[in-house]
Amino acid sequence: MSRTLDLVKWTIALGSGEQNFLGAKWVPGFLARLKGDSQKKWALRLLSMSPHYFIDGTSTKRADETTDAFLGRVFDVIVETRIEIYEKVLAGYLKSDDVVVDYGCGPGFVAAAVSAHVRKIYALDISDGALACGKILNGRENIEFVHAKDSEDVIPKGCVNAIYSYAVIQHMTDEVFRSMLDTCARYLHAKGKLILHVQLPDDAWKTEAEWRSDASAKGRLKFKYGLHCFGRTEETFVQMLSERGFEVTECLEMERLFGREDRELASQRLIVAGKK
Ligand SMILES: C[S@@+](CC[C@H](N)C(=O)[O-])C[C@H]1O[C@@H](n2cnc3c(N)ncnc32)[C@H](O)[C@@H]1O
């Protein structure tokens, strides 16, 4: 029953494009009509409906807690996890005067954690709803939320010092990933850095070819809406980046960066690259 309810909730929040959670046209308009605390409350409720953000995925609601109190508590947990991502993963690559792109920013928690440490962030995503939630929950003076389709008009070409992307590339097909790299090449300064959080293949993370060969209805729906996760080998990343004009300078184990052993982190890497 709760699975059916989830499917109904996901369907009404889906946008028309592939992988477009919270992309439904009504989401930004609905949030814009609300004021103050109601806006934040509904932004959190909408995010909790969406399987891309799993905002309530790691915490458990207490019996004596209202849903909104629970989501408020989850918000604080996510803020802390994204601060840790900034400190342990990104801080070493970003400088206070940098202009930065957060590629696939979602509701902007990572951008908010980074914002105090750089000059300007363009927070880019394909989901109108995630961007609308991001503005409400994680708006900062130096963060500009940008829909991917408008980014060419907004982000200055050849001037960006760093582009980072966290928990995004695993949702991209090879074709979309190549197009992302071409976009990054246009925005990045000649000495700019690409900082990519990526997933290697393992038992849970299948390759694109494996996902495509899954003919079941569930498999095809997961593929269409980005609920699959693609793993790629380190060699594949090096080659794909090289073909798009980037040289990989570092490939770091996420477990080492976070300083702890963790089943999920074990097959994740941080790839740092510059223009050739
Ligand atoms: C799992 S969320 C991660 C959000 C955020 N980076 C974080 O770590 O909190 C993945 C995000 O990537 C976005 N995304 C997927 N494909 C994209 C694309 N082609 N261009 C830009 N964003 C994309 C999704 O809309 C979603 O918001």
* Tens of pLDDT, residues 111-161: 999 999 999 999 999 999 999 999 999 999 999 999 999 999 999 999 999
In a domain, 80, yes or no: no
- Of 77, 75, 109, 116, the C-alpha closest to 94 is 116
User: At residue 18, does pLDDT exceed 50?
Assistant: yes
Is 124 found in the same domain as 67? Answer: no
Q: What is the pLDDT of residues 58-93, one digit of tens each?
A: 678 888 999 899 999 989 999 999 999 999 999 999
Angle at 109 (CA atoms; ends 145, 224), nearest 5 degrees: 75
Predicted confidence at residue 1, as pLDDT, reads 47
User: At residue 108, does pLDDT exceed 70?
Assistant: yes
Residues 6 or more apart whose CB falls under 8 angstroms from that of 47 comprise 22, 53, 55, 107, 130, 133, 137
Is 269 found in the same domain as 222? Answer: yes
- In whole angstroms, what is the distance from residue 190 CA to residue 217 CA? 45
Which residues have C-beta atoms less than 6 Å from ligand 1?
19, 52, 104-106, 109-110, 124-127, 130, 148, 166-168, 171-172, 176, 226
CA atoms within 13 A on the CB side of 227: 14
Percent of the chain with pLDDT over 70: 86
Render the burial of 247-267: b for 16+ CB within 10 Å, e for the rest: ebeebeebbebbeeeeeeeeb
Is 225 found in the same domain as 133? Answer: yes
What does the pLDDT average to over 163-181? 94
Is 198 found in the same domain as 103? Answer: yes
Q: Whose CA is nearest to atom 27 of ligand 1?
A: 106
Residue 60 or 276, more confident: 276
- In whole angstroms, what is the distance from residue 63 CA to residue 81 CA? 24
What does the pLDDT average to over 184-188? 98
What does the pLDDT average to over 181-194? 98
User: At residue 163, does pLDDT exceed 60?
Assistant: yes
State both tokens at 146. Answer: 């940008």
Question: Could you tell me the residue range of the domain that residue 71 belongs to?
Answer: 2-75
Q: Whose CA is nearest to atom 12 of ligand 1?
A: 104
Is 271 found in the same domain as 199? Answer: yes
In a domain, 220, yes or no: yes
Q: What is the pLDDT of residues 201-217, one digit of tens each?
A: 877 666 677 777 777 76
Is 120 found in the same domain as 207? Answer: yes
Given 75, 105, 131, the domain boundary residue is 75
DSSP 3-state assignment of 52?
coil
Total domain count for the chain? 2
